[in-house]
Amino acid sequence: MNGTMERGHLTPSKVRWNWICVFWLFTILWHQHGFAGQDKVVVSVSEAVMRSAPGFLSKAIAKVPYGTPVRILGRDSGWVNIVADKKTGWVQRSALQEAEYVLKDLGRGEKASVDTYKNDVVTAGKGFSPEFESMMKSNGENLNYAAVDEMERFGFKELALFKFARRGRIASDLLE
Amino acid sequence: MIFSNKSLKLCLFALMFPIVFSCQSMKRATVTVGESLGSETLVKSAADLTPRQEYYLGRSIMARVMADRKPVKSENLQTYVNQLGQYLALHSTRTAVFKGYRFVVIDDPSPVAMSAPGGFVLLSSAMLRVAENEDELASILAHEIGHVALKHHEENIKAANQMAFAKSILAVAAQLSPNLNQVKTFSEAVASGVDIAFNKNQERDADEAALKILIRAGYAPNALQNVIQRIPNTATLLSKHPRNQSRIERLSKLTSNTKKSMGRTAAKRFMAILEAEDPSARSAKR
Divide the 286 residues of chain B into consecutive groups of 10 and give the mean pLDDT of each group. 52 43 32 34 46 86 84 95 98 96 92 88 91 94 94 72 54 39 36 52 90 94 88 49 70 75 66 76 52
B204, B152 Cβ separation under 8 angstroms: no
Q: Which comes out higher in pLDDT, residue A19 or B95?
A: B95
Q: Do A17 and B16 touch (CB under 8 A)?
A: no
Judged by a CB distance cut-off of 8 A, whether residue B269 touches chain A is yes
Of the two residues A27 and A7, the one the predictor is more confident about is: A27
User: DSSP per residue over A123-160, as a string?
Assistant: --SS-SSHHHHHHHHHTT-S--HHHHHHHHT----HHH
Calculated CA dihedral for residues B154, B160, B165, B169, nearest 10 degrees: -100
- Beta carbons of B120 and A148 less than 8 Å apart: yes
Give the number of C-alpha atoms closer than 13 A to the C-alpha of residue A170, restricted to the C-beta side.
Answer: 33
Q: 3-class DSSP state for residue B226?
A: helix
Residues A124, A133 contacting (CB under 8 angstroms): no
A158/B90 Cβ within 8 A? yes
| Among A38, A66, A151, beta carbon nearest to B33 | A38
CB within 8 A of B217, min separation 6: which ones? Answer: A165, A170, A172, A173, B87, B88, B90, B91, B138, B142
B219 contacts on A by Cβ (under 8 Å) = 170
> In B, which residues are within 8 Å of A147 by CB distance?
62-63, 66-67, 70-71, 104
Please name the residue of chain A whose CA is at the shortest distance from the CA of residue B11: A21
At A46-70, the pLDDT tens digits run 999 999 999 999 999 999 999 999 9
A101 contacts B102? CB cut-off 8 A: no
Q: B85: exposed, middle or buried (C-beta count within 10 Å: 0-12, 13-18, 19+)?
A: buried
Q: What is the pLDDT of residue B161?
A: 54
Identify which of B111, B118, B104, B105 has the alpha carbon closest to the alpha carbon of residue B152: B118
Tens of pLDDT along A104-137? 666 533 333 333 233 222 233 345 677 777 777 7
Burial of residue B62, with CB atoms counted within 10 A of its CB: 0-12 exposed, 13-18 middle, 19 or more buried = buried
Helix (H) or strand (E) holding A2: helix A2-8
Mean pLDDT of A78-100: 94
Give dist(CA B227, CA B249) in Å, integer. 13
pLDDT, residue B176, reads 37
Please report the pLDDT score of residue B133 as a whole number: 92
Taking CB atoms within 8 Å and a gap of at least 24, the contacts of B264-267 are B264/B135, B264/B220, B265/A168, B265/A169, B265/A170, B265/B133, B265/B134, B265/B135, B265/B218, B265/B219, B265/B220, B266/A167, B266/A168, B266/A169, B266/A170, B266/B133, B266/B134, B266/B135, B267/B133, B267/B134
Type of residue found at A35: F
Q: Which residues pair with A122 in a beta bridge?
A: A116
* pTM, to two decimals: 0.72
A67 touches B67 (CB < 8 A)? no
Inter-chain CB proximity B50 and A38 less than 8 Å: no
Asked if residues B83 and A156 have their Cβ atoms less than 8 Å apart, the reply is yes
pLDDT at B119: 94
Instruction: Give the number of other Cβ atoms within 10 Å of residue B168's Cβ.
Output: 17
Residue A8 in this model has a pLDDT that exceeds 90: no
> Which run of H or E residues covers position B238?
none
Contacts (Cβ under 8 Å, ≥6 apart) of B33: A38, A39, A41, A72, A98, B42
Among B20, B30, B218, beta carbon nearest to A165: B218
Type of residue at B242 = P
Contacts of A74 in chain B (CB under 8 A): 31, 36
Give me the total of CB pairs closer than 8 Å, taking one residue from chain A and one from chain B: 238
Strand partners, B114: B122
**Lowest model confidence (mean pLDDT) among A15-29, A87-101, B123-137, B195-209:** B195-209
Average predicted confidence (pLDDT) for chain A? 78
Residue B76 sits at the chain A interface (C-beta within 8 Å) = no
Q: State which residue of chain B sits closest to A48, comparing Cα positions.
A: B96
Of A80, A105, A161, the CB nearest to B86: A161
Inform me whether the pLDDT recorded for A155 exceeds 60: yes
